[in-house]
Structure 1
């Protein structure tokens, strides 16, 4: 039986830690990571999370998006859609969000690994949670409101207050969730979002009104951002890496989105 040989380079805990330090990652800082581990090469075991924790050290804090967007209304599903005849049963059967056990959806292996890491904490939003481990973890994830996916009462605002940096590790600016915080600070339509939650009285389906968010034009925004603001660029394994200040990204996005997106009517 023929098999495809692995694609390098070989990435170990030590090699990744060394390259992250060379990129500019510092002990003790608070870091939000968006990642595509397949871009790194051949990764040995759970090397990425271990390397990040090694570099940040005991006084640092590592944060990742642990989103679970499948906890939503099936009428809105498009990738793929499901038959309308299933909608009512899905709404009735969708498990309530439990930060301890609800798996991530569509955000990759590294967030799922960190979600289950000993000592990790996770925020309370059923669709757009974040997980964190480290000295500031509780301060980052606490108080995530159900009607504020990625705004002022989400971990993104706490990361901004903490002066966190963002590491794009094999991921593009389309994955930069910090840009969404800016959407809450400019005129934007409001939409209804629905999800299943666990309450003291058991599972309940919940609907709230929240700011409309979209990744539309984030790649363009990112191109302009890194031409205007300090962005460290390098490679970790085979992956392109970018390291920059989260508050800078939010400030740039607030101005850029107000100028380049149509205003709501």
Structure 2
């Protein structure tokens, strides 16, 4: 049986940059991008072309930021997809390589963030599970001093992006991936949880447990739909991808009010087990 031809549209670095400009991406701005390569169509050059197109649209004075999470660096007791035998847990904790921003790969966020992570000149924040990577003149200010006990809160790159007027680009991605909503969870009464992960020290890797705000993307799609109904959100196509563009600050402020009204403690389903490990 012959192989069917690829489905389109044919997308290139130049068409991506043009579509992003038509959507409203401005040269010189700071953009937090959540992305799906598959949604764009047939991309000539794959994730490299996407990153090049994003950087072209932003220009030399703009800064591109992506989540480079490494959720696999987590407590094996929480793994469910697949689980591992309880008899292995202690050995896994004792031998798991600690987080290294230059080496540790991303997990569960797609190929575009992994491409940004390894891009020449990219900088990455220090949190062992919820890091961000950035390219551009504001990169250092965004990723520096990401506190080890503050995944997505006031001492994370999200708060800096909010303060500097950055915008969110959902490039074929849904509101369930919008990390900015998590910053709102730090500003409302939220459960706290113990979080374990390996960290790198001069003496080698060691297991560390910190107390953190419990985060959850449960109902983020519903939150996003209400946000889009009530607040200005730019929508359009980039390639074949349904794309949205809006300020980080707007998303955080709306989510803070929405979560306090709509989410109860009883329905809180935490994301403390990494997405790639959950059933």
Aligned length: 265
Counterpart for residue 32 of structure 1 = 32
The two structures have a TM-score, normalised by structure 2, of 0.93
Aligned-partner Cα distance in 1 for 2:4–2:157:
41
- Cα distance in 1 between the residues matched to 2:233 and 2:82: 36
Partner of 2:120: 118
CA drift of 1:87 comes to 1.4
Gap runs ≥5 in structure 2: 269-279
Instruction: Tell whether the 8 Å contact from 2:16 to 2:53 is kept in structure 1 after alignment.
Output: yes
1:14 corresponding residue in structure 2: 14
- Which 4+ stretches in 1 moved above 4 angstroms? none
Match of 2:250 among 248, 251, 263: 248
Contact 1:170/1:241 (<8 A) preserved: yes
Does the residue aligned with 1:206 lie in a helix, a strand or coil?
strand
1:199 Cα offset (Å): 1.4
Equivalent-residue separation in structure 1 for 2:183 and 2:102 (angstroms):
25
Q: CA deviation at 1:179?
A: 0.1
Residues in 1 aligned to 2:4 and 2:97: alpha-carbon distance in whole angstroms:
39
Asked if 2 retains the 8 angstrom alpha-carbon contact of 1:187 and 1:263, the reply is no
Give the drift of 1:252: 0.1
Contact (CA 8 Å) 1:186, 1:258: kept in 2 or not? yes
1:5 and 1:257 mapped to 2: Cα distance? Answer: 45
Determine helix, strand or coil for the equivalent of 1:208.
Answer: strand
Aligned to 2:190: 188
Q: In 2, Cα distance between the equivalents of 1:93 and 1:263? A: 35
Q: Distance in 1 between matches of 2:62 and 2:259?
A: 31
Residue 109 of structure 1: CA displacement? 0.5
Is the Cα contact below 8 Å between 2:96 and 2:205 reproduced in 1?
A: no
State the distance in 1 between where 2:187 and 2:51 align. Answer: 32
Counterpart of 1:149?
A: 151
Q: Deviations over 1:188-241 (max 9, x none)?
A: 111000111111222111110000000011001000101111100000111100
Q: Which moved more, 1:112-121 or 1:4-13?
A: 4-13
Could you tell me the TM-score, scaled by structure 1's length? 0.98
List alignment gaps of at least 5 residues for structure 1.
none
